[in-house]
């Protein structure tokens, strides 16, 4: 049992420090998600299939979270359906009151944490290190917050180190990267609708969550009191338990942020290749693969230190260079018609072509 | 499609073929072979476990074959298609045969990588040839299905013979906009059965049921299943094609109003027949009466006393005329009733149409308001 000084800082301040940290990261996650949605919406015109795919992943996780809510509350699941445009979960028993609130909470908060939580679980097996729970010496607000941030930074450093030395010839590493990207595209609770929208409401999900929390203030109060009781119990028995719960939530948020950052790169690449003429626009993707394979093969013959990182750098630099060059010299025609010219020709029944002059 | 294959007044609406990703089930088998080949190569050459495989060249081959066959069994059970298992068995046997023949035991890991890639490429090519062999022609009168790589298969179905349309769109189809449409004919072509055994695995035929399903009970469910060359498999754009086919079926199937009209026409024809028969009767009666009349006129100067005898044919004539008139009135009455019915049916149809139009107008107004 730990010796705890009986002052306000240790009884209140230290309890709120990790909560504050988690909320801060969660807000950052929300902003990143909204940014991703905005980027995806701009791709709508040319990459409808890609948008439908990302929608499907998002809806899949959202529906799973909804179903999880029904399972946890023992409502049972009567129907479960996931399509590209919507997800549907029907309970066997309709529950009201606090159960309904819990189900709604799963639906609203689940997509932020559950997919990223699964990635975190995978990263534990792939990365292995970086999962450090800091021990508190002084039970103060600042000490608790510093411990929380230290734990997160250790994990972030481990993940960044892994990503910078990732071996793309290792199926396990490639699999993890794919999972990270896959889940990164799904960590967004809001659905990008079928209709075209130029502007997406910023922090749309936050409004829904705010309404959910305001709707039942009593439940929220009970939840907060429950958490505080949990803090007090853990404070006197083992303070690490309380810290660890919020630490895991922080890691989940951090994993989500990293996954979202990676998806930005993918979206940016798709956007950049859109600037290049058809047929030429697949060259950057080919460069991405070929440059890495070539550099790895080259370094097999001339071994040096940090082969993985150097190969990654070669891959990134050559792809960026090639893309910039192609955008400069093989830029696509920006003045496009709404209907494809091929269709117009078919409708006209004539093939328009320039006639060569006799002279 | 050649012009001579078309029927009279037939026009082609669309010529379709399956979407490149619509045979993903078959392509997935090739993808697995290639991925597993790479994984085995990595495991034996670069992973932390490479020491296990270092001693014997047969170990990687055994691992590769066992997993391949295991996946084949699982895939066959899930898809209720034992050909998947036999396909993987063939791939494994081929690899094993090549190693024995060329004595590549020591280079088995590299061989497995190259062999997996080669087999997968061949597999992809076969799937692509198979896909390209499909051709679906939607005309204004019928749908023609053509398929088969070596054996050419053809199916034609007229829209008025389509009893039901089954449509399905998987996740990949939803993402890329393709789907499968199965027109089920009145004869039941397009329907198949899913047979499963409860405890002993699955039953494809009665003999296999004895082998695999020794401990279970059978269950047969009728579902719309057809070979890819008997259905519009993975057609793109799915929604558009579905709408087109449904529209064409609708135009070829008589509506309730049309059915009523046909019934009216039949009744009209019956009445007209009755009228014609009556007229025939009338016409055939007339010359006989004329003959009787002439005979009476000829006899009149000679037998002036026989006035009572003259009255008999006149009475008969009057009676006949009355009967004819009565029958005529009856037929006319029937005709009138029929016309009335027809008129009311027409009016109801018109009202319904107007109602639908009004609803549509209201909806468009609403939409316009919403847009505004």
Q: Given pLDDT bands bounded at 50, 70 and 90, which one contains residue A58?
A: confident
* Residue A188 pLDDT exceeds 80: no
**Chain B residue nearest residue A55, CA to CA:** B175
pLDDT tens column, A284-328: 999 999 999 999 989 888 888 888 899 999 999 999 999 999 999
* Residue B80 pLDDT exceeds 50: yes
Q: Across the interface, which of B39, B42, B174 has its CB nearest the CB of A52?
A: B174
* Residue A346 pLDDT exceeds 60: no
Q: Report yes or no: B46 at the A interface, CB cutoff 8 Å.
A: yes
Q: Report yes or no: B176 at the A interface, CB cutoff 8 Å.
A: yes
**DSSP for residue B268:** H
Bridge-based pairing state of the strands B191-197 and B179-185: unpaired
- Distance (Å, whole) CA B275 – CA B293: 26
**Chain A residue nearest residue B174, CA to CA:** A84
Contacts A–B by Cβ distance under 8 A: 25
Q: Across the interface, which of B42, B171, B174 has its CB nearest the CB of A169?
A: B42
- Distance (Å, whole) CA B230 – CA B233: 8
Q: Given pLDDT bands bounded at 50, 70 and 90, which one contains residue B189?
A: low
Residue range B3-18+134-190+226-252 forms a domain whose CATH class is: mainly beta
Q: Across the interface, which of A53, A83, A170 has its CB nearest the CB of B42?
A: A170
Q: Report yes or no: B31 at the A interface, CB cutoff 8 Å.
A: no
Nearest Cα to Cα of residue B102 among B59, B57, B157: B57
**Cβ separation A52–B175 shorter than 8 A:** yes
pLDDT at residue A201, rounded to an integer: 53
Question: How many other C-beta atoms can be found within 10 angstroms of the C-beta atom of residue B212?
Answer: 18
**Cβ separation B175–A49 shorter than 8 A:** yes
- Mutation for testing the B interface, residue in A47, A48, A49 having most B CBs under 10 Å: A49
Chain B residues in contact with A49 (beta carbon < 8 A): 175-177
B189 and B230 in contact (C-beta within 8 Å)? Answer: yes
**Chain A residue nearest residue B169, CA to CA:** A83
Q: Across the interface, which of B42, B171, B175 has its CB nearest the CB of A171?
A: B42
ipTM of the complex: 0.73
Is the alpha carbon torsion for B284, B285, B286, B288 positive or negative?
A: positive
Q: Is the peptide bond before B237 cis (omega within 30 degrees of 0)?
A: yes
Q: Report yes or no: B148 at the A interface, CB cutoff 8 Å.
A: no
Query: What are the residues whose beta carbons fall under 8 Å from the beta carbon of A277, sequence distance 6 or more?
Result: A330, A331, A332, A333
**Cβ separation A52–B171 shorter than 8 A:** no
Express as a percent the part of chain B with pLDDT over 70. 77
Q: Across the interface, which of A49, A169, A170 has its CB nearest the CB of B176?
A: A49
**Chain B residue nearest residue A169, CA to CA:** B42
Q: Given pLDDT bands bounded at 50, 70 and 90, which one contains residue B197?
A: very low
pLDDT at residue B276, rounded to an integer: 87
A interface with B, Cβ–Cβ below 8 Å: 48-49, 52-53, 56, 83-85, 169-171
pLDDT tens column, A143-152: 888 888 888 9
pLDDT tens column, A25-47: 888 888 888 888 888 888 877 88
pLDDT at residue B310, rounded to an integer: 59
Residue A146: enclosing H or E segment and its boundaries? helix A141-164
Cα→Cα distances A189→A99, B121, B300, Å: 21, 39, 112
Chain A residues in contact with B171 (beta carbon < 8 A): 56, 83-84
Backbone torsions φ then ψ of B229, nearest 5 degrees: -95, 5
Q: Across the interface, which of B46, B176, B177 has its CB nearest the CB of A169?
A: B46
- Domains of chain A, residue spans: 8-273, 276-348
Assigned token pair, A300: 């097999």
Q: Given pLDDT bands bounded at 50, 70 and 90, which one contains residue B222?
A: low
- Distance (Å, whole) CA B225 – CA B182: 8
**Chain B residue nearest residue A84, CA to CA:** B174
Q: Given pLDDT bands bounded at 50, 70 and 90, which one contains residue B193?
A: low
């Amino acid at each position: 049992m730990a010796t705890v000084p009986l002052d306000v800082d240790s009884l209140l301040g230290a309890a709120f420090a990790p909560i504050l940290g988690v909320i801060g990261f969660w807000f950052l996650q929300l902003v990143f998600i909204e940014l991703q949605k905005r980027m995806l919406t701009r791709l709508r015109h040319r990459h409808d299939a890609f948008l439908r795919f990302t929608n499907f992943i998002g809806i899949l996780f959202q529906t799973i979270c909804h179903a999880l809510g029904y399972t946890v509350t023992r409502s049972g699941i009567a129907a479960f359906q996931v399509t590209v445009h919507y997800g549907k979960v029907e309970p066997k028993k309709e529950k009201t009151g606090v159960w309904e609130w819990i189900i709604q909470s799963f639906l609203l908060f689940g997509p932020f944490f559950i997919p990223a939580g699964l990635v975190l679980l995978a990263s534990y097996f792939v990365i292995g290190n970086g999962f450090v729970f800091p021990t508190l010496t002084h039970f103060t607000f600042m000490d608790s917050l510093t411990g929380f941030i230290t734990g997160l930074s250790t994990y972030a450093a481990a993940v960044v180190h892994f990503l910078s030395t990732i071996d793309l010839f290792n199926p396990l590493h490639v699999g993890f990267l794919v999972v990270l990207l896959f889940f990164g595209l799904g960590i967004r609770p809001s659905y990008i609708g079928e209709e075209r929208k130029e502007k997406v409401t910023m922090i749309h999900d936050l409004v829904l969550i705010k309404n959910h929390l305001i709707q039942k203030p009593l439940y929220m109060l009970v939840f907060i009191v429950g958490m505080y009781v949990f803090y007090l119990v853990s404070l006197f028995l083992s303070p690490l338990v309380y810290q660890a719960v919020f630490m895991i939530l922080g890691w989940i948020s951090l994993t989500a942020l990293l996954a979202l950052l990676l998806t930005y790169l993918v979206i940016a690449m798709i956007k950049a290749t859109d600037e290049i003429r058809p047929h030429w626009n697949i060259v950057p993707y080919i460069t991405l693969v070929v440059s890495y394979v070539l550099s790895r093969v080259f370094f097999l013959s001339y071994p040096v230190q940090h082969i993985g990182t150097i190969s990654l750098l070669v891959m990134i630099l050559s792809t960026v260079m090639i893309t910039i060059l192609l955008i400069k010299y093989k830029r696509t025609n920006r003045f496009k018609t709404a209907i494809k010219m091929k269709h117009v020709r078919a409708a006209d029944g004539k093939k328009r072509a320039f006639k060569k002059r006799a002279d | 499609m050649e012009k001579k294959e078309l029927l009279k007044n037939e026009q082609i609406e669309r010529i379709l073929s399956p979407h490149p990703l619509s045979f993903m089930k078959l392509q997935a088998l090739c993808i697995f072979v290639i991925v597993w080949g790479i994984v085995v190569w990595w495991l034996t050459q670069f992973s932390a476990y490479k020491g296990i495989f270092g001693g014997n060249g047969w170990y990687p081959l055994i691992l590769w074959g066992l997993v391949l066959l295991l996946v084949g069994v699982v895939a066959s059970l899930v898809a209720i298609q034992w050909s998947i298992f036999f396909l993987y068995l063939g791939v494994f046997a081929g690899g094993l045969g090549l190693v024995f023949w060329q004595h590549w035991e020591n280079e088995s890991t590299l061989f497995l990588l190259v062999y997996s890639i080669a087999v997968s490429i061949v597999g992809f090519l076969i799937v692509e040839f198979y896909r390209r062999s499909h051709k679906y022609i939607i005309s204004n009168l019928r749908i023609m299905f053509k398929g088969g790589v070596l054996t050419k298969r053809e199916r034609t179905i007229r829209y008025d013979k389509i009893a039901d349309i089954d449509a399905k769109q998987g996740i990949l189809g939803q993402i890329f906009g393709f789907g499968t449409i199965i027109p089920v004919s009145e004869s039941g072509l397009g329907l198949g059965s899913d047979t499963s055994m409860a405890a002993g695995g699955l039953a494809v035929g009665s003999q296999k049921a004895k082998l695999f399903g020794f401990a279970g009970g059978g269950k047969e469910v009728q579902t719309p299943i057809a070979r890819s060359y008997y259905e519009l498999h993975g057609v793109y754009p799915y929604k558009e094609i579905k709408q087109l086919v449904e529209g064409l079926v609708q135009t070829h199937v008589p509506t309730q109003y049309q059915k009523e009209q046909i019934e009216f026409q039949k009744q009209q024809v019956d009445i007209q027949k009755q009228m014609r028969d009556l007229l025939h009767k009338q016409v055939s009666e007339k010359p006989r009466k004329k003959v009787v009349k002439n005979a009476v006129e000829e006899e009149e100067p000679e037998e002036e006393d026989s006035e009572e005898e003259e009255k008999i044919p006149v009475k008969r004539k009057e009676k006949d005329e009355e009967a004819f008139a009565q029958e005529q009135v009856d037929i006319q009455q029937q005709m009138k009733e029929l016309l009335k019915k027809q008129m009311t049916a027409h009016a109801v149809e018109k009202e319904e149409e107007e109602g639908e139009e009004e609803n549509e107008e209201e909806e468009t107004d609403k939409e316009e308001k919403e847009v505004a």
